[in-house]
Amino acid sequence: MSAKGWNLNMLQAPPSLHICCTNKHVSLADQFLKDVSDSVKLVKSNPNAFPDGMAPIYGMAAAFPDRSTIAEMGVAYLEAVLQAQRE
C-alpha cells in the first residue's frame, strides 16, 4: 500500500491496521478499496516478495512469548538503525 501512496499503521493485540480518514479521503474510498484488494492479491500470490519493511518486526513481536521484553527489543532495534545511519 505504501507503493500506492497510502500510509497505514500496523497495530498488535489484535493484529490490525489504523486508518485515518479525513474529508480529503472521501472521494478516494473506491480507489482505496481497489488498492487494498490488489495489494492483498499481490501479497497472497507472492508471500516472500516483500522482505523489507516493518511487517517482520511486528510479526516477531506479536509472537514473542515474553511480551515484557518487547519494549527493550524495540529500543535495541532503533539504536542499531540509528547507529547504522551514523556510519
More confident residue, 78 or 54: 78
pLDDT at 69: 76
pLDDT at 65: 72
The answer to whether 24 and 31 are in contact (CB under 8 A) is no
CA-based angle 11:14:19, to the nearest 5? Answer: 40
> What pLDDT digit, counting tens, does each position of 22-70 carry?
888 889 999 999 999 998 999 899 888 776 666 656 666 666 677 677 7
Domains of the chain by residue range: 1-50, 51-87
